[in-house]
Structure 1
Amino acid sequence: MFTHTAGIPLGDIFERYPPKEEIPSLEESLSKKAILIQEPGLSFSYSNTGYNLLDLLIEEVTGRDFAEYMKEEVLIPLGMHNSSFTWSEEFDPAVPVGYDLKGNPVPVYIYPEKASDGLFANVEDIAAFAAAGMTNFSHTDHQVLNDQSINKLYTPMVEKIGIYGVVLKRYRFSVLPFWLICFNPCSHYRKGKTNKSIGTKNNLVINPYRVDLPLALFSLQNILPNK
């Protein structure tokens, strides 16, 4: 599931809710989405549902809420003190407003799942997260993964990635390795999704082995460039 090769579908990217509205539980949501569509390990297919199953797995194994677990075990150790997997009206600074393609404001929305779509973070914390995935770059007092584990993150699991190779070429990323993280949409930064989102999308691009290269964080409405 970590490598998007478990044969699990993308998931429903249109099921979103206002923060104060009652939403389905994680189990209820996954009962409709966690199905097998192809043989595991056969090929790469991006899957939010796979990561959301890991969300449920973490809760069942640890007996802790996913947002609380991530805060204590990942966010705080990385120094990401302005990040949370739980929406709050007390975010300071407040979450900025996103807009659709017609210029209409898009209110903040959340999903039943948190692992693939639930992180609220500012720019500094996003940079800290990116640095944590770079060898010989992480601050020694803000390290979650060692260099061996980081290297495993960039070890190819499949030879071909299908249509996603076209996406990367449109981004002009013809030389690997690199790391593309999409924080989208509406008015906050979140990991995952496709070009069907509304509001804003913020993409972070790094080369994990080139600490001399700057991080690139850019915003756009859709994940794919127009040309």
Structure 2
Amino acid sequence: MRNLSLLIVATLLAMAIWTALVFTGARHGWMRADPAPREDLTSFFAASVAQINAAGQGAVAFVLIGRGEVFGEHYVSAGAPVAPDTLFQLASLSKWAAALGLLKLAADGRLDLDAPVSRYLTRWQLPESEFGTEGVTARRLLSHTAGLTDGLGYMGFEADAAVQTIEASLTDAADAMPGADGRTRVGRAPGSGWQYSGGGYALLELLIEEISGEPFGSYMKREVFAPLGMSQATFDLEEAEAAGLAPCFDAEGAPCAYRRFAAPAAASLHASAADLVRFLEAQMDGASDPALPPEMAATMRAPHASRFGIPIWGLGVMLYAEAPGGGYVIGHEGMNFPAIETTARIDPATGDGILVLSTGNPGLAAKLGGDWVYWHTGRVDVRELDGILPAVAGVLVAGWAVILFPAVLLAWRRRRSGRRKFS
């Protein structure tokens, strides 16, 4: 009996070690090829440009940053030319900018990140819930841990359609993406886990307006864009078109029209690559004109949400991977209908980063961003983990089978030998 117990313990230990090895190996890219020699900026830039040119459609702005300086830029378009000062719609990358706007209010002492947001709101309130609403704070909204279950994703409104007010959109978004609930409400205990919520950022937009006493777009221009030198950045589509907006293309590369949004903080900042380089540089360690005070910047970059035990979210930013010099690679993605995709990722400690703005090239921005994170850190970024889980599961099961089969066979033989001994 004692031998059988030892065998069970040894088998479970072997399975645990195998599991740890597989997950560690997967995170460190055992299923991934190096996009370029590690830290060779010239090779990575060339490989990225080759991918962009091979796509052969849409419009793309690509900027590679090394040690706090722009190393290289590449701009292509199947329509009207694009350049460093051409504006792109940023989709959910807009949330990062909105987060800076909110954190400025906190840094100025006008907002308590851990107070119920209901204390600041007069124009709209979260509906009553079995989980209450007192646990819905700005900190949790920024990190998608406030218990909201709207699942938004916004499709946006076509040019001839009336755009909802932000209050109506919070109540029931008319432009919810397929599969989204669309109602901004507390559907799980606040703080109990991470669940992406576009409605949470619509609520943060309303919060900024309530506290600042001015329209969201005006506040952002005055408090965020002007100090950072983002002279063209705007949440207003008409302003962006007048300033020079990149042509819109769908997934097949055909021309399309941009859409308008009831909650622009969540989905529709328009900015140029030149604007966003300033945005990123202001969030590097040692920036001459930092976007946030150092303590607030550290709070933004600290882990506030995790999945599978891996930190994935700060306040308004994703935590893509552990950075080589400590801390995390931070940034945000964006995807708007029909085929608008963006990514911006930086290592604040080293001053390295990547920016990709695109229309008409599904998957390209995320692919280049993931390549850069792996090339820079040696780790697969958290966005790619879901995609490799089926392969990881297959390897795990195969290894467990190899461990279990001889253990079960040995246990059976010992049991059979014991029966013969006492027969």
Compute the TM-score of the two structures, normalised by the length of structure 2: 0.44
Give the unaligned 5+ runs of structure 1.
166-172, 186-196
Q: Is residue 179 from structure 1 mapped to residue 330 from structure 2 by the alignment?
A: yes
2:188 maps to what in 1? 38
Name 2:298's counterpart in structure 1: 151
Alpha carbons of 1:103 and 1:198: their partners in 2 closer, same or farther (altered >3 Å)? same
With over 3 angstroms needed to count, the CA separation of the structure-2 counterparts of 1:121 and 1:184, relative to structure 1, is farther
Instruction: Determine whether 1:105 maps to 2:105.
Output: no
1:191 corresponds in structure 2 to: none
Aligned mates of 1:35, 1:124 — CA distance in 2: 37
Alignment of 1:148-227 (within 5 A): 148-160=295-307, 174-176=321-323, 177-185=328-336, 197-211=337-351, 213=352, 215-218=353-356, 219=358, 220-222=361-363, 225=367
**Identity of counterpart residues, as a percentage?**
25
For 2:268 and 2:248, locate their aligned partners in 1 and report how far apart those are by CA, in whole Å. 16
What residue identity is the alignment partner of 2:149?
P
Secondary structure of the corresponding residue to residue 181 of structure 1 = strand
| Structure 1 position 184, deviation (Å) | 4.1
Contact 1:134 1:150 (8 Å CA) reproduced: no
The code of the aligned residue for 1:221 comes to: P
Give the match for residue 7 of structure 1: 147
Pick which of 56-65 and 152-161 moved more: 152-161
Which runs of structure 2 are paired with 1:57-68 in the superposition (5 Å)? 57-68=207-218
Conserved 8 A contact 1:45-1:161: no
- Listed as ranges, the gaps of 5+ residues in structure 2 are 1-140, 173-182, 313-319, 368-386, 389-423
The SS at the match of 2:207 is helix
Whole-angstrom distance in 2 between the partners of 1:162 and 1:224: 23
Take 1:124 and 1:210, find their aligned partners in 2: how far apart are those partners? 20
Instruction: Classify 1:159/1:184 alpha carbon distance in 2 versus 1 (closer, same or farther; 3 Å).
Output: closer
Give distance in 2, aligned partners of 1:184 and 1:160.
Answer: 21
* Mapped partners of 1:53, 1:47: distance in 2: 10
Question: Would the alpha carbon gap of residues 23 and 180 (structure 1) be closer, same or farther in structure 2, given more than 3 Å must change?
Answer: same
> How many angstroms does 1:159 deviate by?
4.2
Partner of 2:278: helix, strand, or coil?
A: helix
**Conserved 8 A contact 2:331-2:345:** yes
User: Is contact 2:334–2:342 with CA below 8 Å preserved after alignment?
Assistant: yes
Contact 1:19 1:87 survives alignment (8 Å): no
**Are the structure 2 counterparts of residues 160 and 183 from structure 1 closer, same or farther at C-alpha, using a change threshold of 3 Å?**
closer
**Equivalents in 1 of 2:266, 2:308: separation in Å?**
20
Amino acid at match of 2:214: R
Give, in angstroms, the shift of residue 90 of structure 1.
6.2
Task: Work out whether residues 232 and 243 of structure 2, in 8 Å CA contact, stay in contact via their aligned partners in 1.
Answer: no
- 1: CA distance, partners of 2:149 / 2:350: 33
Distance 1:164 1:102 in 2: 35
1:190-211 Cα offsets, whole Å, 9 max, x none, are xxxxxxx422312111112212
Aligned residue type for 2:342:
N
User: Does the aligned pair in 1 maintain the 2:158–2:258 contact within 8 Å?
Assistant: yes
Local SS of the residue matching 1:50: helix
Partner of 2:169: 29
Q: CA deviation at 1:10?
A: 5.0
Bigger share in helix: 2
Could you tell me how far apart the structure 2 residues matched to 1:159 and 1:12 are? 20
Distance in 1 (CA, whole Å) between partners of 2:240 and 2:224 is 21
Report the CA distance between 1:80 and its aligned residue: 0.6
TM-score between the two structures when normalised by the length of structure 1: 0.78
Q: What's the secondary structure of 2:344's corresponding residue?
A: strand
Residue 193 of structure 1 corresponds to none
TM-superposition CA deviations, 1:157-184 (whole Å, max 9, x none): 234368996xxxxxxx553411132244
The one-character-per-residue Cα deviations of 1:106-144 (angstroms, maximum 9, x if unpaired) are 21112110111121100011111122222212x33xx44
- 2-structure distance, mates of 1:133, 1:22: 37
- Which has the larger share of strand? 2
Distance 1:9 1:95 in 2: 33
Q: CA RMSD in A?
A: 2.6
SS, match of residue 98 in structure 1 = coil
- Kindly indicate whether the alpha-carbon contact (under 8 Å) linking 2:234 and 2:240 is maintained by their aligned counterparts in 1: no
SS of 1:206's partner is strand
Q: Relative contact order, CA 8 A, sep 6+: which one is greater? A: 2
